[in-house]
Amino acid sequence: MPRSSRPPSLLSRRAAACAAAALCLPSSPPGLAWLPSIAPPLSPRLDAATLTPLAALGVASDPGELRYPSWLKGTWRVRNSISGFSMPLGKVFVDDFLRASAIEDVDAAVPLTYTLSFVDAPPPPSEPALSVAQDRRFNAVEETAAFCLTDGLVVTSGRYDVTATHPHGLILLEVGDADPRKGGGGAVGSRKDSATRGATAQIEIDIVWAAWDAAASKGAFVTSELAVQRTTLPADEYFDQPAVDTSYLEIITRFERPTTSPVLTQPGSSRSTSTATTTTVRARNRLVQYLTLPGVPSRVESRERAAKLARLADGRAVSFFDYDWVMEKVTDDQGLGSGFPV
């Protein structure tokens, strides 16, 4: 009996969020000149009724990690609200547990709050204004922890690496029970055998393709990443061996340019509303699930039904999770988690 996991957070999007070690899509190794992809605009992908990975259309990945405009630098408090869930090819292509969880989340409409950090980073020579990167380790831990909390789980460790094998970045997370003594209610915490309580699930997110669009309407900035997420669940009373769930994802995010508004102060406050302001960035985020990704070895051949569904999907998206973010700036510092590799 196969096990299923909740929808990926990664980024995370989610995302966040677990990847096969042997990938990758063709990409330029670190150290080569940064060249922008010749790609269609990314913004329409946030509203499209059907999607195919741009990599399948021959659009090359931008080398290395994503870069962002300087106006995103700093630490931001995020309020993340799910705005919709859809299955463009029908429910037969989507895991039952994932579908039920998504519908539950949409009906509950409970926003999540967490912190994101963007730090200084070397810009591409051709685009000097893109001088900021995500603090990926910190951001992955923060976002995943927010999604896991509803299942009684916590992120116990996080790591982020950029190497020649993983030029776009590799995220490694461990997740365990918030209180192993209580057994929890999540993928790890549901174990009845006290000997396995507290065992950790491992999440590996391999970003295999990345692109940005700095020419979006109204000065917005849009990113897209393809990622392979592999979640390794520990053995339990039903399974003698660890089980691995693999998801193939696209994470699309559109950041609107920041706006500044006065902060309402309490009567008698020493601060004047004319000088006290808050900076806000609004963003749209879409987490897209595929059954396969171009150039990535598939892991469904051993399951006949899954292989048939993958052939019927023919590379098209099978589910969309849509989110709205409201990001309020906290600081202009260099990040909190030192997740950007030096």
Q: If pLDDT is split at 50, 70 and 90, which confidence band does 266 have?
A: low
b/e per residue 94-117 (b: at least 16 CB within 10 A): bbeebbebbeebeeeeeebebbbb
Task: Compute the distance between CA of residue 292 and CA of residue 246 in angstroms, rounded to an integer.
Answer: 10
- For residues 278 and 338, the model is more confident at 278
User: Encoding tokens for residue 254?
Assistant: 């559109």
Query: Which two tokens mark 221?
Result: 């900035």
Say what the pLDDT of residue 196 is: 42
Question: In this prediction, what percent of the chain has a pLDDT beyond 70?
Answer: 74
Q: What is the mean pLDDT of residues 228-248?
A: 84
Confidence of residue 18 (pLDDT cuts 50, 70, 90): very low
Identify the residue with better confidence: 152 or 22. 152
Tokens of 237: 């009373």
Q: Are 228 and 206 in contact (CB under 8 A)?
A: yes
Q: List pLDDT tens digits, range 123-152.
A: 998 899 999 999 999 999 999 999 888 778
273 pLDDT higher than 90: no
In 10 A of CB 65, how many CB atoms? 21
The whole-number pLDDT of residue 267 equals 61
pLDDT at position 23 is: 28
C-alpha 122/C-alpha 133 separation (Å) is 9
Residue with tokens 């951001």, as numbered in its chain: 139
The three-state secondary structure class of 8 is coil
Comparison of pLDDT for 321 and 245, the residue scoring more:
321
Rg of the Cα trace of the chain? 20
Q: What pLDDT is stored for residue 195 in this prediction?
A: 38
Least confident segment among 73-77, 87-91, 213-217, 254-258 = 213-217
Residue by residue, DSSP assigns 244-292 as: EEEEEEEEEEEEPPPEEEEPPPPTT-SS-TTT-EEEEEEEEEEEEEES-
Work out the number of other CB atoms within 10 angstroms of the CB of residue 224: 27
Look at residue 38 and tell me whether its pLDDT is greater than 70. Answer: no
Query: In the structure encoding, which two tokens stand for residue 182, read together?
Result: 């209580």
| Spatial contact of 183 and 195, defined as CB atoms under 8 Å apart | no
Q: pLDDT band for position 27 (50/70/90)? A: very low
pTM: 0.80
Mean pLDDT over residues 167-185, rounded? Answer: 77
What's the pLDDT at 332? 65
Residue 180's SS3 state is helix
DSSP state of 68: B
Residue 35 in this model has a pLDDT that exceeds 60: no
Ramachandran class of 123: left when φ > 0, alpha when ψ lies in -120 to 50, beta otherwise: beta
pLDDT at 274: 56
For the stretch 136-148, what's the b/e string if a residue is b when 16 or more beta carbons lie within 10 angstroms of its beta carbon?
A: bbbbbbbbbbbbb
Q: Out of 50-64, 117-131, 286-300, which region has the weakest mean confidence (pLDDT)?
A: 286-300
The H or E element spanning position 306 is helix 304-313
Is residue 132 within 8 A of residue 66, CB to CB? The reply is no
User: Residue 71 — very low, low, confident or very high, per pLDDT cuts 50/70/90?
Assistant: very high
* Euclidean distance between CA atoms 159 and 138, whole angstroms: 9
Q: Where are the domains of the chain?
A: 10-21+42-262+275-331
Residue 25 has pLDDT above 70, yes or no: no
- The pLDDT value recorded for residue 234 is 82
Tell me the CA distances in angstroms from 205 to 14, 187, 230, 232, one per residue in order: 10, 18, 7, 12
pLDDT, position 177: 83
